[in-house]
Amino acid sequence: MRRLILSLGILIGLAAPAAAEMELSVYSGWQTLPHSRISGELPNGGGSYDELVGWEGKPFTMPPYYGARATWWRSDTLGFGVEYTHTKAYADDSAKKALGFDRLEFTDGHNVLTANVMRRWPERWGKVTPYVGGGLGIAFPHVDADHVSGSDTYGFQVTGPAMRLTAGASYPINDRFSVFGEYQFTYSANEGTFDDGGTFKTNIKTNALNVGISLNF
């Protein structure tokens, strides 16, 4: 994990001095999650488990789904940068009941931080600029889990590697600002702990339709 974080810093450092253009973007949107399995050991010696979870994103429930990225465009078409996304994941009621959790969620963020490579085609369709990108990084969710055995987990954990894929298009408002819409997919492989001896392992995937605004300088 330390090597991965160091690699992110090196990539950012190499990209920034050569930047011809900086772009800062913020966005929100509609985020969903497909089902995935969660497994591990239940707290307080409750035994092993392996359960299919119907995760919910609830992007408009506080705190909302959002993201931000910085891109250093080294040329008209190629850029490097960093991106943070505050996704969310709530376990469905049937999974919680089966496992004995009153609450099982990553809701102060299933946070994903990546170093990105971006490719764009300036004004390919009139003033519209399509772009694609991908990134590798880490997941550091806020684990919020309340088990009937008395275990109450509440805090941030670095849980494993993450990646993202993005495809979208931007449209300029003026020389400094542009608006954009995009599809984004994130994936993370998470291993973490519950208080009182519990563990969890689960892969979280998100699909999102984002809208946002960028500042260029």
pLDDT per position as a tens digit, 136-190? 999 999 999 999 999 999 999 999 999 999 999 999 999 899 999 999 999 999 9
Q: What is the pTM of this model?
A: 0.87
Average pLDDT rounded to a whole number, residues 47-68: 94
| CA separation for the pair 33, 17 (Å, rounded) | 37
Distance of CA 171 to the CA centre of its chain: 24
Predicted pLDDT of residue 60: 92
Average pLDDT rounded to a whole number, residues 81-89: 96
Q: Is the pLDDT of residue 22 over 50?
A: yes
The domains of the chain, with CATH numbers, are 21-216 (2.40.160.20)
Closest CA to 208 of 85, 54, 92: 85
pLDDT per position as a tens digit, 88-113? 999 999 999 999 999 999 998 899 99
As a whole-number percent, the residues of the chain with pLDDT over 70 amount to 91
| CA separation for the pair 115, 9 (Å, rounded) | 8
CA dist list (Å): 109 to 58, 76, 90, 146, 191: 12, 33, 11, 17, 16
Predicted pLDDT of residue 4: 46
Predicted pLDDT of residue 18: 46
Predicted pLDDT of residue 49: 96
Predicted pLDDT of residue 63: 87
Average pLDDT, the chain: 92
Pick the range with the lowest mean pLDDT from 20-24, 69-73, 111-115: 20-24
